Each structure stands twice: as structure tokens, then as C-alpha cells.
Structure 1
Amino acid sequence: MQFIEVIEGGGVAEVVLNRPRVNAMSQAVLCEMADVFRRLAEDDAVRGVLVRGAGNCLSAGLDLREVASLDREGLPGFLDAFDAAFGAAFRFPKPFAAAVHGHAIAGGAVLAMCADYIALGDGDYKVGLPELAVGIPFPRVAFEIVRAACPNPAFRRLVFGAELHSPAEVFEMDVGDVFSAEPIEDARRWLAKACGRPAAAFRFAKASQRKEAWERIAAPSPAEREAFIDALLSAKRALTAPLAG
């Protein structure tokens, strides 16, 4: 793997995004994400996963320069890679924790919301979903992940408000499970407890909780994909401006 490091030990795999400077999600990163989550889901030696970012950022989201360089013929391949990566993360059947210790913006925030346990670190960084502010539509898989992770008021504020927030503000919206000075250690402690319990019961409960979202993700139409691409192409000029500001 070029951009994702997997550190395994004690039945837990730590998935570390490492694409300087802000762990932006290029098509290559998305392909690696899909491969990693699928492989770890099938590996009986891995009982749970922790996702974190290298450096001071989980991820600032998609590589918008790469997206902006794509035309109508090139976009479907990128979108397929996005759907595969986030679909694999959201369908991961084992305990999954995310440690947010730096910027988690757009796709970075969505990745954290795939987790069963989100540890938000206290710090001077931003979390948010600013897609609509620059005209980027939500892919169906991202929309359903956010809807599953957020209570309705937080969903409306994050998606339709399209602003960046401090981690404390996001935690006050009831998004995330703990707010602390040591998010990675908190995530590891939760995983140690969750992974020590019977795996089949956890898998069944997680599948039950996410079943309706999975069904909605699996039901897009060709017309919806074309409308999405049209909206994305109309926002090309805005895509060249970094979401992190």
C-alpha cells in the first residue's frame, strides 16, 4: 500500500491514512481503502479496526484537484472508487473505531462516521461537511453514512449548514462518543473491550442497525448517477479551492 499503512497486533488492525499533507483522498487512496477494509473483514485474525490519520489530519476529504481534472468520461471511475471505499468501510462487520485528532473535513468526516465509536480529540482543528457550500453533491453512500451517524438536528446543521466546526461543537451536536485529550488511546480502549466480546452477537447487532441504510445505498438509478455528475461538473470551478480553507 502506498498511502495506507496497516499496523496489526493483538487482534486489532490500525488503518493509518498517510498521504501528505492532508491525507486527501485521490482515486488511488480510495482503491486502497476498499482493498484494506475488504481484506480485514475477511481476516479471522483481525477482530477490530481503528482508523486514524498520520500527521495532524485525519483527512481533508477528496483530492479536489484530481476531481476537477476529470471530465464526464473520467468521473464515473472516480465515483465507483468512492462508492467502493466508503461502502466497504460502512459495511465492515467488526468493531470499528475512529480516532479524530486533526482536521476531518468532507470525506474525512464521513470516514469517521463509518465507525461504531468516534473518539474526538480536544484541539485546534476543524470538523465538517462543507460540500454544499462549494456545490459538491453528496454521493448516496456518503449521505446515508452521515444520516446513520447523526441525530436529525446535527444532520441538518452539518449537511445543509455546510460549515466547519470545532470538535467541541460537533460533540455538543451529539456526534461522536467521547471528547478527550487522548482520542487514539480512547479508541484503543473501546476496541479492546468490544473485541473481547462474542463476535457473532456484535456482527448481528451492527447489521440490524445499518440494514435500512445499506438497502438505500444499494438502490441508485442510472438517472441519479447522471444527475450527480451534472451537478459535479457544474461545480468544477469551485473544486479548485481547498475545502479546508
Structure 2
Amino acid sequence: MTVLETLRHHDILELRLSRPPVNALDAELIRCLREAVEAAPASGARGIVLSGRPGMFSGGLDVPALLQLDRATMRTVWADFFGLLHALGTSPVPVVAAITGHSPAGGAVLSIFCDYRIMARGDYRIGLNETQVGLVVPELVQATLRRLVGNHRAERLMVAGAMLEAERALDVGLVDALADAEQVVEHAIRWLTDLLALPVEAMTETRRIARADLVALFDRPGAMDTAPFVDRWFSAEAQHVLGNLVARLKAKA
């Protein structure tokens, strides 16, 4: 069964996360998404929409699955995840995050590397809540969030691991627009269609200049170093907190 659906809307490629029940990011989905984003421009796509299902964009990392991995395999998974962030952040074509519902942790991380974020209106939450599960937000991700919402705001959100309701996320600039859950993808396609209707060379070069600071983040010393996150993942505190999280999930199931 596929974990990632691809849908064409003329020259816009929609990559729809399709891993029920919450589109959690396991090794396969991370790898497939990275490969799809990297391959999209060569397939003729002039823009990309990253979407989920109404009510749920992505529940973030698949903690139960990833806790089963050894250190070497986890390094490979995290290298793929950083590679996915690089593909989104440096994409030669614009990428819109159609945040169709809840988007904690890894889901929120994916969205901040995109050009534009449209989130479902209503009782949905988004945020980088890594500290709540014993993890540290990597510097590359922190720098990208600071670029988006400002230094102090990013500090407060990340240190607390805050999960914001959609309206609040719009207020602080974590997302750019809201739409009804069933209309989020349509709005994303419309935004991209309007952008792609501009004179191509002028839009493309202006976008390149505007995103140069984001692209430069990947060239900082250690920016793509997976070791600190993997070390933290296998720390006693993180394993304890993550283990308790998995136990609670199993109890609910």
C-alpha cells in the first residue's frame, strides 16, 4: 500500500500523505516524500502542494516505529529527514503546505520549509512540541522558525513546545492563511496558480533572492549533522519520555 499519493493538477503536483491513521512519518514515508520532492521539477511540475487528509496533516514522527530502530538505522532515517528539509527549502519550484488539520512536531517542521502555509480553520493545532517528548529542536529547524516568526517568538514557542490553535498560528505568522478543512488543498492550488501566472523569469529570480537566506542555512557548519539529534534520541531522558508516550498511545488504542 502506498504511503504517498501523487496527483497532478495541470503543472502543479500534489503530494498527499497517505499513511493512516495520522500520516505519521516513518522511514518509508520520509524517504518517499524526499524522493518525490526532489524528482518533481524534472517531471514537469512547476509547483508542489504537500497535503494530508481533512482533519490531519501529519502527526509527526512515528515514535512507536522509530523506537524499534537501532542507532545506525536511526542515523539513516534522520539523514533522510534532513534531506527532505533540504529538498523543500531549496526546491527550484514553489512548495505550498496544505495543512489539512492537526500538525504537531515533524508535520509542523515540514511546513516551515515551504514557501507558503494554508491551514485548516477550526479546532486544529500546530506547533513544534519536541520538548514535551524529551527531544531538542535542531538548530537548522530553529533558525528556519526564527526566520518565519522572529527570534523571541520562536524561542517562546519552541522552549515551551507550544501547540497553537489555527487562528493563533495565523496571528503569530506560523501559517499564512486559513481555509475550511475540505478547501485547504483547493486554496493551495489557487495560490500556486496565481503565483505561476506571473512572468516566469521575474518571479523565479525574485523568489531565489528572497529565499537565499533560507538556502544558506543548509551551508552552515554542522547544519546537516544528524549526530546531535540521534544522540538525544537515544538519551535516557528521551527514551523514558518517548516510551511513556508509546505506552499511553497503546492504552488509548
Please report the TM-score for the alignment, with normalisation by the length of structure 1: 0.89
- The 2-side partners of 1:60 and 1:111 are apart by 11
The AA in structure 2 aligned to 1:237 is H
Does 224-233 or 170-179 show the bigger shift? Answer: 224-233
- Displacement after TM superposition at 1:213 (Å): 3.0
The AA in structure 2 aligned to 1:205 is T
8 A Cα contact 2:103 2:125, kept in partner: yes
Other-structure match for 1:50: 49
For 1:86-235, list aligned pairs within 5 A. Answer: 86-181=85-180, 182-221=183-222, 225-234=226-235, 235=238
User: Equivalent residue of 1:37, what SS?
Assistant: helix
8 A Cα contact 2:53 2:101, kept in partner: no
The AA in structure 2 aligned to 1:232 is W
- Displacement after TM superposition at 1:150 (Å): 2.2
- Displacement after TM superposition at 1:222 (Å): 10
The AA in structure 2 aligned to 1:22 is V
Question: Residues 57 and 34 of structure 1: is their aligned pair in 2 closer, same or farther, counting only changes over 3 Å?
Answer: same
- Displacement after TM superposition at 1:79 (Å): 1.0
- Displacement after TM superposition at 1:40 (Å): 0.7
Other-structure match for 2:66: 67
- The 1-side partners of 2:201 and 2:4 are apart by 28
Structure 2 unmatched ranges of 5 or more: none
Pick aligned residue for 2:239 from 232, 236, 240 = 236
Question: Residues 199 and 4 of structure 1: is their aligned pair in 2 closer, same or farther, counting only changes over 3 Å?
Answer: farther
Does 204-213 or 235-244 show the bigger shift? Answer: 235-244
User: Equivalent residue of 1:89, what SS?
Assistant: helix
Does 200-209 or 219-228 show the bigger shift? Answer: 219-228
8 A Cα contact 2:139 2:223, kept in partner: no
- Displacement after TM superposition at 1:87 (Å): 1.2
The AA in structure 2 aligned to 1:57 is M
Question: Residues 226 and 118 of structure 1: is their aligned pair in 2 closer, same or farther, counting only changes over 3 Å?
Answer: closer
- The 2-side partners of 1:222 and 1:133 are apart by 23
8 A Cα contact 1:93 1:206, kept in partner: no
User: Equivalent residue of 1:74, what SS?
Assistant: helix
Does 155-164 or 175-184 show the bigger shift? Answer: 175-184
- The 2-side partners of 1:226 and 1:142 are apart by 15
Cα RMSD (Å) of the superposition?
Answer: 2.5
- The 2-side partners of 1:238 and 1:146 are apart by 24
CA-to-partner distance for each residue in 1:49-72, whole Å, 9 max, x for gaps?
Answer: 111102521101111122222232
User: Equivalent residue of 2:36, what SS?
Assistant: helix
- The 2-side partners of 1:76 and 1:220 are apart by 18
CA-to-partner distance for each residue in 1:154-201, whole Å, 9 max, x for gaps?
Answer: 312321120212111111112222123333232122111011123333
The AA in structure 1 aligned to 2:162 is E
Other-structure match for 2:2: 2
- The 2-side partners of 1:154 and 1:140 are apart by 15
User: Equivalent residue of 2:72, what SS?
Assistant: coil
The AA in structure 2 aligned to 1:236 is Q
Question: Residues 23 and 220 of structure 1: is their aligned pair in 2 closer, same or farther, counting only changes over 3 Å?
Answer: farther
